[in-house]
Structure 1
Amino acid sequence: MSSLHCGVDFGTTNSTIGLVQSDGTPVLIPVEGNDVTLPSALFFSFEDHSTHFGRSAVHEYMDGAEGRFMRALKSILGTSLMDETTQIGRERTSFEGLIGRFLKHLRERLIAHTGAMPEQVVLGRPVFFVDGDTRADRAAQDQLEAAARAQGFKHIEFQFEPVAAALHFERTLDSESLALVVDIGGGTSDFSVLRLSPERKNSTDRRNDILSTAGVHVGGTDFDRQLNIAKVMPEMGRGTSTRDGKRQLPVWYFHDMATWHKINQLYRPEILRDIKSLQREAAEPEKLERFKHLLANRSGHRLAGQVEKAKIALTDAAETEIELIEPGLSLAIATTRAEFEASSAALTTKIGAAMDEALTAAGVGADAIETVILTGGGAQVRQVRALVDSRFGHARIAQSDQFGAVGLGLAVDAARRFG
């Protein structure tokens, strides 16, 4: 039992499990078939009452199976939603319970791979689950710990995700380096300034080597959201007015439809009634008809997935289309990289400010950074990479495993803590 050193990276969009082998090498274990990443998604089938995880959950939902799809549950930690329950078929379930189900599935994958019953784990956490609220941030960690403990983990430690990414990268160094870790995940952006070296990598106490940490509750799904709000939701009624021109339609319906972890909350009968009522007085009722389709057919996550696909395409392409074609709805909305960057400019500014905060807290300037470690899917966003290049063009830019570096580093940390 004591030789099983594992780290679990429960991410907003993807999750991994890192394990240190007997020779001291960290690896990611398969968590879905041969894949070492598991999309952080669940689907509860109303047809056969089965529960699906990861790609299987996405497939069931995209295939139109009757059920409840949930994604980005990590974003709920520390929010008021954690005090509520949600309807899953005939039962009401707490969000802590839903997160627990996902962690249980990860633990079962670990048991299947190792044949052991893991009781100790290092869990990754963002620098800030919740911006500017230390009480809510502490509550978020406590909620995640409670969910893990309920699934059989008895000895639980936490490590900042950017620090974990650095611990994995440090194994490749042959000389000392002052490093900045830029971890742009699905829901948060985290930054750490650390001293790394071959000599330090075996130390169990690295507190003096962590010069600063900073973070902001902005991640890849926020870029999706802003593109969705700017380009898609106007086609659903956002920004339109009543026929008499006296008021605009409420915007919160459209903003929630563009927010991954809030979409399911719109699938309530009273919301559909609200939209039907608004449609009767709307100046452009045909747009609300599209919104009604999303509600009636539970198509919100399918649309969000197409927006995410367009965001990724704009990394290399100057323009693309956001498409959602299904019975009763046919959308093909052209968008450009310039429009995407304009819609998310405020997010890039927040990321840059948090990056500068990490440098200031460490007492160093950008020119002192020798290595920048990029990790997380959001680090692939073109304007984020441009931000890094503009500040640290002199430094070595190390592109680590965008989805696996944190899980591997958490396993390294587990070996030091529990070894």
Structure 2
Amino acid sequence: MPASLSSPSFCAIDFGTSNSAIAIPRLDGSGGMRLVELEAGQPTMPTAVFYYVEGKHDADGPPRAFGRAAVAAYVEGADGRLMRSMKSILGSGLIDQTTDVGGGRGVKYSDILSGYLKRLRNSALAAGAPAPLNKLVLGRPVFFVDGEPKRDAQAQASLEAAAHAVGFDDVHFQFEPIAAAFDFEQHSEREQIVLVADIGGGTSDFSVVRVGPERMKRVDRRDDILANHGVHIAGTDFDRHVELASVLREFGYRSYGPERPGAPAREVPSGVYFDLATWHLINTVYSPGRVAELRNMRSFYGNIQHHQRLMTVVEDHLGHELAGRAEAAKIAVANGGDTVIDLGVVENGLQIELSEAAAVAAIGPDIERIAQAGREAVAQAGLKPEQIDALYFTGGSTGLRLLAERIAADYPTAVLARGDRFASVATGLGLHAARLFR
């Protein structure tokens, strides 16, 4: 009997800014779905690829590591290039460009995406998913690009093309927060209206969805989706603001040059600092031309130590290290209390104190914009805040106490619920795939 009749050959992928997951049908005849264990028994894998300088191409392309192995290779100092936050490339002009990954190799950003999706597909096949595994539900944010429908459509088309390139010929999309609502619905004992707050690394999405035991039997749920709205602000933006407000001040950000006769001191150019605080732009700072340009800017700095530290970062390729430490500091203070950021990797004994108040000042405006997006979703549904029965949090950034408390404050009568911050969207996408393809 053909595989399509004897056993369903489909899957669902949550391709996230920070982490990804894939769901496949259970083979026990239950009709349920399961998440594939991708690494070390974990159902999620960091959305990261490390390209090694050394090694030969094989049938799949240049020598690479994926997920936790990719991050480990970078942390351990392997010679190569780490790619993260790849989802943020969608909808930008970078998608068709080629980037240097070391060892004289160039790789198109679109091929980086398809290579990662191929890794997920191969992992599913290795875990027992029946071939040909050519049917796919892909999650997508409400907006890849805020306020630009043409670029948003291009972003989805690029992701779909990457999926087609690795063997998925029947590709459907579902909004990530709606998928999370399907996950919440599994445990719902009555009909209710839920506001899903799906806040990950790249986007903050809200959906107002009607859920319930009877409604979950339907394949077509369009009438139950009352509204969805989102903004392209999330965890990586918090990291960037924290890094600029704390870490990069010690390297000259917002500092001034020397005073000159008859002219006030000028602020040091800030472009390099914004690039250092943006994951997918960090490597652009390491190009020989850029390094030479920065080296020649020594006279721009009133505090020469700032320039020396900056050059250590760009010459030793420490940008991702600084970004990682800023991210860890954000998590520490956003859950309450102060922390110390150790920058001894750049200069022996260098460290910075980061207070909760300073973090709030850095990310507070973004948190307010995210909360506003939730209120707009409710308004688009024609509802008032008190008509929301449940507020369902999912996505890695909802683990930040400051953010979750701010959003919840707008819905004082709603029951608060939390899904698996990293896997509830993939679970919901799997449920949708099962209804769609069966």
Q: TM-score by structure 1 length?
A: 0.97
Matched with 2:21 is 16
Higher relative CO (CA 8 A, sep ≥ 6), structure 1 or 2? 1
Q: Deviations over 1:96-115 (max 9, x none)?
A: 11111111111110111115
Q: Using a 3 Å threshold, how does the CA distance of structure 1 residues 377 and 209 change in structure 2: closer, same or farther? A: same
Alignment of 1:164-203 (within 5 A): 164-203=179-218
Q: How does 1:282-361 map to 2 (within 5 A)?
A: 282-326=301-345, 330-361=349-380
| Residue of structure 1 in register with 2:430 after alignment | 411
1:61 maps to which of 61, 74, 84: 74
Superposed CA RMSD in Å reads: 1.4
Aligned to 1:275: 294
| 3-state DSSP of counterpart to 2:257 | coil
Structure number with greater Rg is 2
Rounded Cα–Cα distance in structure 2 between residues aligned with 1:146 and 1:220: 27
Match of 2:285 in 1: 266
Task: Select which of 374, 397, 411 maps to 2:416.
Answer: 397
1:136 and 2:143 aligned: no
Of 96, 108, 129 in structure 2, the residue corresponding to residue 94 of structure 1 is 108
In structure 2, distance between residues paired with 1:377 and 1:241: 37
> In structure 2, the residue corresponding to 1:226 is in which secondary structure?
helix
In 1, the alpha carbon distance for the partners of 2:25 and 2:193 equals 26
Q: Which residue of 2 aligns with 1:209?
A: 224
Give the drift of 1:327. Answer: 6.6
Please give the per-residue CA displacement for 1:122-160, whole angstroms capped at 9, x wherever unaligned: 000000000000000000000000011101111100000
1:200-251 deviation line (CA, Å, top 9, x unaligned): 1010100000000000000111111100010011111111222234421111
Q: CA deviation at 1:295?
A: 1.2
For 1:107, the equivalent position in structure 2 comes to 121
Q: Percent identity?
A: 39
Structure 1 counterpart of 2:81, one-letter code: R
Alignment coverage as a number of residue pairs? 419
2:326 maps to a residue whose letter is V
Q: Using the TM superposition, name which of 126-135 and 29-38 deviates more.
A: 29-38
| Structure 2 portions without partners, runs of 5+ | 57-62
What letter corresponds to residue 204 of structure 1 in structure 2? V
**Pick aligned residue for 2:171 from 149, 153, 156:** 156
Change in 2 beyond 3 A, CA 1:296/1:233: same
Judge conservation of contact 1:196–1:209 (CA < 8 Å) in 2. yes
- Tell me how far apart the structure 1 counterparts of residues 218 and 65 of structure 2 sit (CA, whole Å): 40
- What is the rounded CA distance, in whole Å, between the counterparts of 1:138 and 1:282 in structure 2? 44
Q: C-alpha separation between the residues in 1 aligned to 2:350 and 2:160?
A: 42
Q: Does the 8 Å contact 2:114/2:163 carry over to 1?
A: yes
Residue 388 of structure 2 corresponds to which residue in structure 1? 369
Q: Does 1:7 align with 2:3?
A: no
Counterpart amino acid of residue 153 in structure 1: F
Gaps of 5+ in 1: none
Amino acid at match of 1:68: R
Q: Secondary structure of the equivalent of 1:391?
A: coil
What CA distance in whole angstroms lies between the structure 1 residues aligned with 2:105 and 2:53?
11
Q: What are the equivalent positions in structure 2 for 1:11-50 lying under 5 Å apart?
A: 11-21=16-26, 22-48=29-55, 50=63
What amino acid is aligned across from residue 21 of structure 2 in structure 1? T
Instruction: Work out the CA distance in 1 between the residues paired with 2:377 and 2:268.
Output: 41
